[in-house]
A and B are shown apart, each in its own frame.
Chain A
Amino acid sequence: MTPTPPTASDLLRFGRRLRRELLEKRDLKEIRIAVLGGSTTNELCNFWEVLLLQDGFRPTFLQSEYGAYFEEAVVDPTRLVSFRPDIVYIHTSFRNLRNLPGPHATADEIAASLSAERAKVQSIWRSIRENVGCQIIQNNYDQPTFSLLGNLDAVHPAGTTRFVASLNGHLAEDAACTAGVLLLDLASLSAQVGRSRWLDASRWFSYKLAHTPEAHLEIASALTAMIRAIYGRSKKVLVLDLDNTLWGGVVGDDGVDHIRIGRETAEAEAFTAFHEYCLAMRTRGVLLAICSKNNEDVAKAGLAHPDSVLRLEHFSAFRANWMPKHENILSMAEELNLGIDSFVFVDDNPAERALVAAQLPAVAVPDVGSDPVRYPAIIDSMRYFESVALSADDLQRAAQYAANSARAAVSAQFSNYGEYLASLQMTAEIDVFQPVFADRITQLTNKTNQFNLTTRRYTLAEIQAMAQDPSYVCLYGRLTDRFGDNGLVSVVVGAVDGRTVEIELWLMSCRVLKRDMEVAMLGCLVERARDVGATRLRGWYIPTAKNSIVADHYSRLGFSRVAVDREDGATCWELGVTDYTPRSLHIHVSTFSQ
């Protein structure tokens, strides 16, 4: 089974040992995190470190002096700048609010207090963006310990409860329109934990710890989910069993008429609620799949039950057979072109869970138990599908995968592959980076592992900087065909070095593999290289555990191997651009159009 997440008591007592053991893991991704705190942050960082190590990250922390979050961000950011953080987390709580209005405050005074707190946060963001230019995580505010006015505190304009809620609303607006800032929802976390278990005044007075260990653990796990999302390691697929997972009973034994789903009984309602939860996940971009031990026709009949909210067409992959479930999950990973670490497996049967967890350690297998009432809350609490933004691509993802299945069906009808490609009537929009796509480009650089020549990751700030820098050639590509819009699927970044354009990054989403999109990208790259006076392109293939599919990328595109020995097994390739003839046959290429 996927290990049960540690409790706060575990971390207090065994934290050092856990850390020591986890540090022995291989392939940990190094990240540098600065925590600027309005309280003592050691305990939070210790918990956070263990959770990050469990998820394959190896963090190095810089913690501000106690309470000096504003000073170290704005007044003198020297220490912060020289630390070169990838992430800055500003950890504040209601105790850091300095402008709370008193009960006699006038409307003008309250407005001034709000502006002052808001401006303080914005000056922190501005300073970090200008001096460091890295990802910022800011939390909103938890509610203060006391409601001086009781219920009226949430209503009266000068009530602190209302003030904090209003400030949080403003912070959300500010974060939403500030690139590179993510908001950690401390207010919801504190509500979830409960005020009495969130705070411990004695820890504040003794150690200036703003929260209980339990609260620190909740904050640390929310932060860890954000880090996974920032680095593209969130899960993408929810794999579901059928019998006693999506309905009560065994459809093969009981018959379609007797499975328990719908509104008739409490149990049926619970399964229906789980259907609705899964469907909502699909709407926000999580792919759904079925993995069930059943005959296929029987399984499909179950989903056709009139009360079933989930229908066959909601599933991007479907396996109902008698093969071991881990084999089915592997074949679905191949079908969907996704890494096995993108999958979450939900099954009421503990034996199936144990088998999948043992055979495929990269698959997340939550201990959902066997009570449908609890499935959504357990899955939700694991924060598997955290995302930093909701792009148009996320909202269309399920439809895109459905279109892929349609394409696959069509390809079977053609005598040769070129004929198939022509039939797709593909149009690519390929152009230099446009601000409107910066989020998506960043997202792709961080989550693309397979079709990725160098696996370089970029922050939003870096993408924006390169887009403005004349010494870079930065191209994106979007691909549309007769089945639908695949969205922004390819990114190429080249650094101009005299007569050479050095290709630092070349990636493509695997959903458009074998569509000659890379040929179209090369055509545009060659044009750009000529525009800047270059005579050749030089690219590297840096092998990783996941990118073997592009080992021959450059040779297929006509590049020649350059003899360079590197310890990491990287290969170097060059292509002259002067006499290169574009050879994209099947894709009509256009440029950016709003």
Chain B
Amino acid sequence: MTELTDLTPIFRDVLDQPDLVLTRESSGYTVDGWDSLAHINIVTSIEQQFGVRFALGELQDLQNVGEMLDLLNRKRIVT
């Protein structure tokens, strides 16, 4: 199982915020600097670190970090 704590370092690095605290509710609306380009970097870095590939439709509906985490865990079980 991938936990929130596994994703935190990626967000901290990409957003250059070493003290960032992530919750399941964190999203582009609540986290500074999480703009569309940072979003691409976050998704790509997650794909690279966990060896998964998100399909187009899967990313469109994500509302927050929690949903991203759940999606990642579903994919990691399948693969």
Chain A interface residues toward B at CB < 8 A: 9, 12-17, 20, 42-43, 46, 202-203, 205-207, 209, 213
Contact = CB atoms under 8 A, between A and B. Distances in A.
B3 interface: no
Contacts of A207: 36, 40
A205 B56 contact: yes
A13 B10 contact: yes
Nearest to B38: A16
A16 B56 contact: no
10 contacts: A9-B45, A13-B45, A14-B16, A15-B41, A16-B15, A16-B16, A16-B33, A203-B40, A206-B59, A213-B44
Contact count band on B? 10 to 19
B16 A20 contact: yes
B44 A12 contact: yes
B14 A13 contact: yes
Interface string B55-79: 1100100000000000000000000
Contacts of A46: 37
B48 A16 contact: no
A209 B14 CA distance: 19
Interface in B1-31: 10, 13-16
Given A13-B10, A17-B16, A43 B48 contact: no
Contacts of A205: 56
A203 B33 CA distance: 21
B66 to A, nearest CB: 21
A17 B56 contact: no
Contact of B37 (A9, A14, A43, A203): A43
A255 to B, nearest CB: 52
Contacts of A202: 55-56
Contacts of A16: 14-16, 33
A215 to B, nearest CB: 13
A12 B14 contact: yes
A12 B16 contact: no
B45 A12 contact: yes
B77 to A, nearest CB: 22
Contact of B48 (A9, A15, A17, A42): A9
Given A12-B45, A42-B37, A206 B14 contact: no
A95 to B, nearest CB: 17
A202 B47 CA distance: 13
Contacts of B37: 42-43, 46
A587 B10 CA distance: 67
A206 B45 contact: no
Nearest to B13: A13
B75 to A, nearest CB: 15
Closest 9 pairs between A and B when the two form their complex, measured CB to CB = A16-B16, A12-B41, A17-B16, A13-B13, A42-B37, A13-B45, A12-B44, A12-B45, A14-B13
A203 B37 CA distance: 12
A20 B36 CA distance: 19
A14 B44 CA distance: 13
A243 to B, nearest CB: 41
B40 to A, nearest CB: 6
Contacts of A17: 13, 16
A8 to B, nearest CB: 9
A295 to B, nearest CB: 52
Nearest to A202: B56
B41 A13 contact: yes
A577 B11 CA distance: 68
